[in-house]
């Protein structure tokens, strides 16, 4: 029996994407996030499907083998990792290496197993992103290969790993956010996000607690949403249920990242409350232009009031950039390419 011809639909099914997204990559029509594009091309190669003409370029001869990118959650859409993967791939190709991407399954994570096609003897180094299981990281480090983690497991502050970490500044940035909230009169402040999810989330939680304590206030977990990261934070009804359990709504919420802030704002608006007049909301780590956005309007009556906005991200977000309170309320900002006013 002849082998079945591989189609774009086969690639789409293997990636968990639509055929239309795969078609954009091979026909050169429409924008596709870089990490999604890389995943499609990788799966196409594995299935024996030819690469698009634009990908058939000469690169430096491979001299050092391959770099393995391991992840438990492949970054797609507007996750900062999509841009990291694209730039990193370009740099290592120039140095004569190739990038191989491996998504760790839940079973492999639990059993501390390497992906079946991962070959340590053919791997020059490892980069891990969205991989925060401490025991799995210990297993990876035991391979003796140079390893770099993007962010870290939650307890990396008190546990030494034989690898390097790349992380943004978290504690001081949240401290600045807290000072601005307090200066605007907020006293009941809650935190939103799983503080045990990763090192960065825990440091932001630490910055939140430190900001409260320095102001002589006691952090109140009854005003926080700290459910595990796998909880449906993107479901406004679930978030509303969490807020309804609180003894009273806080003056402000400090969210562990922008995605949480956006979902929370949608839930607050569904409750019929205003932002920031009813509740102030801050986020962390700007999403890229074109990413998920809450429904919002620029209302002239708010022009002379403090409001929440994102600082300009530019081509490379500054460490600690966040949805923060405007220090210049007399200069209203509305939705633009790199910054957003939410009212």
* Greater model confidence, 76 or 284: 284
pLDDT reported for residue 60:
43
pLDDT reported for residue 90:
77
pLDDT reported for residue 79:
59
* Residues recorded for the chain: 343
Q: Smallest Cα–Cα separation from 283: which of 303, 306, 311, 302? A: 311
Backbone dihedral angles phi then psi of residue 307, each to the nearest 5 degrees? -140, 170
Residue 258 has pLDDT above 50, yes or no: yes
Q: Do domains 1-57 and 59-167 have the same CATH topology?
A: no
Name the 3-class secondary structure at 335.
coil
Residue 221 has pLDDT above 90, yes or no: yes
Residue 324 has pLDDT above 90, yes or no: no
Contact between residue 198 and residue 152 where contact means Cβ atoms under 8 Å apart: yes
Give percent of the chain above pLDDT 70.
74
Average the pLDDT over 199-228 and give the result: 95
pLDDT reported for residue 297:
33
Q: Specify the pairing of strand 280-282 against strand 147-150.
A: unpaired
Q: Which pTM does this prediction carry?
A: 0.65
* Greater model confidence, 326 or 102: 102
Please give the DSSP secondary-structure letter assigned to residue 341. E
The continuous run of DSSP H or E covering 203 comes out as helix 199-214
Residue 2 binned pLDDT confidence (cut-offs 50, 70, 90): very low
| Interaxial angle between packed helices 171-183 and 199-214, expressed in degrees from 0 to 180 and rounded to the nearest 10 | 40
Residue 125 has pLDDT above 50, yes or no: yes
Residue 321 has pLDDT above 60, yes or no: no
- CA–CA dist 111, 237 (Å, integer): 35
- CA–CA dist 84, 52 (Å, integer): 22
* Greater model confidence, 260 or 161: 260
Name the 3-class secondary structure at 176.
helix
Instruction: Determine if the peptide bond prior to 276 is cis (ω within 30°).
Output: yes
- CA–CA dist 234, 267 (Å, integer): 9
20-41 per-position pLDDT tens digit: 888 888 877 777 887 788 888 8
Domain boundaries, given as residue ranges, for the chain: 1-57, 59-167, 171-342
Angle CA 43–315–76, to nearest 5: 25
Residue 201 binned pLDDT confidence (cut-offs 50, 70, 90): very high
* Mean pLDDT for all residues in the chain: 77
Domain 59-167 carries which CATH code? 3.40.50.2300
- Helix residue ranges per DSSP H, the chain: 8-15, 19-27, 34-47, 80-94, 106-111, 134-141, 171-183, 199-214, 236-244, 258-270
DSSP for 89-113 reads: HHHHHHTT-EEEEEEPPHHHHHHT-
Q: What is 1-57's CATH topology? A: 434 Repressor (Amino-terminal Domain) (1.10.260)
The continuous run of DSSP H or E covering 190 comes out as strand 189-192
Residue 92 binned pLDDT confidence (cut-offs 50, 70, 90): confident
pLDDT reported for residue 308:
31
Residue 256 has pLDDT above 90, yes or no: yes
pLDDT reported for residue 41:
85
Contacts for 4 with CB less than 8 Å, ≥ 6 apart: none
151-197 per-position pLDDT tens digit: 888 877 777 778 888 888 899 999 999 999 999 999 999 999 999 99
- CA–CA dist 208, 260 (Å, integer): 16
Neighbours of 121 (CB within 10 A): 7
Q: Architecture of domain 171-342 in CATH?
A: 3-Layer(aba) Sandwich (3.40)
């Amino acid at each position: 029996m002849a082998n079945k011809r591989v189609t774009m639909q086969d690639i789409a099914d293997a990636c968990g994407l639509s055929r239309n997204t795969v078609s954009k990559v091979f026909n050169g029509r429409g924008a596709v996030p870089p990490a999604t594009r890389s995943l499609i091309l990788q799966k196409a190669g594995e299935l024996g499907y030819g690469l698009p003409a634009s990908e058939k370029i000469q690169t430096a001869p491979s001299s050092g083998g391959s770099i393995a990118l391991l992840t438990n959650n492949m970054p797609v859409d507007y996750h900062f990792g999509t841009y990291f993967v694209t730039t990193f791939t370009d740099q290592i190709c120039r140095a004569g290496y190739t990038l191989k991407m491996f998504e760790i399954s839940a079973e492999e994570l639990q059993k501390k197993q390497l992906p079946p096609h991962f070959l340590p003897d053919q791997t020059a180094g490892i980069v891990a992103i969205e991989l925060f299981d401490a025991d799995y990281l210990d297993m990876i480090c035991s391979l003796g290969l140079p390893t770099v983690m993007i962010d870290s497991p939650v307890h990396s502050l008190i546990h030494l790993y034989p690898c390097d970490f790349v992380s943004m500044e978290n504690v001081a940035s949240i401290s600045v956010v807290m000072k601005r909230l307090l200066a605007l009169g907020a006293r009941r402040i809650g935190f939103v996000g799983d503080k045990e999810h990763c090192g960065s989330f825990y440091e932001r939680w630490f910055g939140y607690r430190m900001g409260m304590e320095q102001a002589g206030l006691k952090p109140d977990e009854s005003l926080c949403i700290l459910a595990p990261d796998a909880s449906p934070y993107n479901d406004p009804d679930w978030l509303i249920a969490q807020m309804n359990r609180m003894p009273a709504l806080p003056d402000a919420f400090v969210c562990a990242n922008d995605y949480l802030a956006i979902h929370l704002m949608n839930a607050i608006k569904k409750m019929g409350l205003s932002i920031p007049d009813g509740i102030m909301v801050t986020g962390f780590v700007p999403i890229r232009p074109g990413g998920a956005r809450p429904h919002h309007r620029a209302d002239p009556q708010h022009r002379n009031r403090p409001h929440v906005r994102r600082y300009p991200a530019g081509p490379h977000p500054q460490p600690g950039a966040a949805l923060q309170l405007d220090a210049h309320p007399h200069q209203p900002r509305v939705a633009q390419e790199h910054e957003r006013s939410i009212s």
